[in-house]
Copies of this chain bind each other. A is one copy, B any other.
């Protein structure tokens, strides 16, 4: 049986390396990934004694330096050729890895993904793609959420292809792809969205449905929402900020409200927390940088072993489903 080789950045994240080793153990013990091989980027033999003790053999490691910090600038990583992020992306390029998962510095990972793993043929700009919650627990896709702060209209076509492939990967058939705009009328938009709108209408293989306003973010009017990385980032963080604000207001209510308010607040507290976590895109198994050679997953910096396990699992599925080959239509 040929292996599905998933690279794991041993040095990225607040809980590294423990969370990564534990997450890998969960994944290797799981019944549903028999052909998984976890390839740690970083570490030495003794770091993995727990795996050996548990009789797990489907892993390997490549020595690497732990020299990318949260302060490392995106371009700096390109000089740190011995870093776990650099080496992981290099192995994506050469197909030694099917996927690479990191909880480390996002900017550095994007930079190494684009310049070391390299772009897919025909793709001008990779994008960060996230799964978001919607009404009736329907998942939808937002891209770019932050890889490209500056865009040209044609980049948005690439994001549409990437978001479309990701939505299909999530099980959405014939995804409805919309373009985020400041209005739905034809004359509305920035010079970039107006031009992209015309280009998207002509794009083959995409079910383009036109402009979408941000207030429809949770509605059932689209499956993939395409935007530049600056606006996508602002939208995502506004969702997060609004959810926190509402939860905070509820907390205040419980503290300072009438007895009726307090009681209601207490009864509903757990549910509100659930809602908040539903709004948190980071719960959805990490975000993908799509458009590069191979599956590149950015898991959250604060990932615990369970989150690392989720990220490995989603990366594994993406390799199995040949997500990457579906981007080039």
**B242 contacts A243, CB within 8 Å?**
yes
One of B218, B231, B246, B248 near A241 (C-beta < 8 A): B218
In the complex, which residues 221-279 of chain A have their Cβ closer than 8 Å to any Cβ of chain B? 227, 229-231, 233-246, 248-250, 253, 257, 260-261, 263-268, 271, 275, 279
A234, A263, A279 interface centre (most CB from chain B within 10 Å): A234
B-side contacts of A73, CB under 8 Å? 187
B-side contacts of A236, CB under 8 Å? 214
Q: Mark A132-165, 1 if CB is under 8 A from B, else 0.
A: 0001000000000010011000000000000000
Interface of A is mostly: helix
In the complex, which residues 170-228 of chain A have their Cβ closer than 8 Å to any Cβ of chain B? 180, 182, 187-191, 193, 213-219, 227
Complex-state Cα separation, A127 to B309, whole angstroms: 47
**B230 contacts A182, CB within 8 Å?**
yes
B-side contacts of A268, CB under 8 Å? 250, 253, 261, 264-265, 267-268
Q: Mark A40-80, 1 if CB is under 8 A from B, else 0.
A: 00000000000000000000000000000000011000000
**B216 contacts A248, CB within 8 Å?**
no
One of B191, B218, B260 near A245 (C-beta < 8 A): B218
Number of A residues with CB within 8 Å of any CB on chain B: 55
B-side contacts of A279, CB under 8 Å? 242
One of B215, B234, B244 near A231 (C-beta < 8 A): B234
Report the minimum CB–CB distance from A104 to chain B (whole Å): 16
In the complex, which residues 72-103 of chain A have their Cβ closer than 8 Å to any Cβ of chain B? 73-74
A213, A229, A233, A265 interface centre (most CB from chain B within 10 Å): A233
**B263 contacts A182, CB within 8 Å?**
no
**B235 contacts A234, CB within 8 Å?**
yes
Report the minimum CB–CB distance from A26 to chain B (whole Å): 30
Complex-state Cα separation, A182 to B147, whole angstroms: 10
**A217 contacts B238, CB within 8 Å?**
yes
**A135 contacts B248, CB within 8 Å?**
yes
**B149 contacts A182, CB within 8 Å?**
yes
**B275 contacts A246, CB within 8 Å?**
yes
Interface CB pairs A-B, < 8 A, 9: A73-B187, A214-B233, A216-B241, A218-B241, A218-B242, A253-B268, A260-B267, A265-B267, A267-B268
The 5 closest A-B pairs by CB, nearest first: A264-B267, A264-B268, A214-B237, A218-B245, A215-B237
- Can you add 13 more A-B contacts, CB < 8 Å, to A217-B245, A253-B271? A149-B182, A149-B190, A214-B235, A214-B240, A214-B241, A215-B240, A217-B238, A219-B241, A230-B231, A235-B238, A238-B242, A249-B275, A263-B264
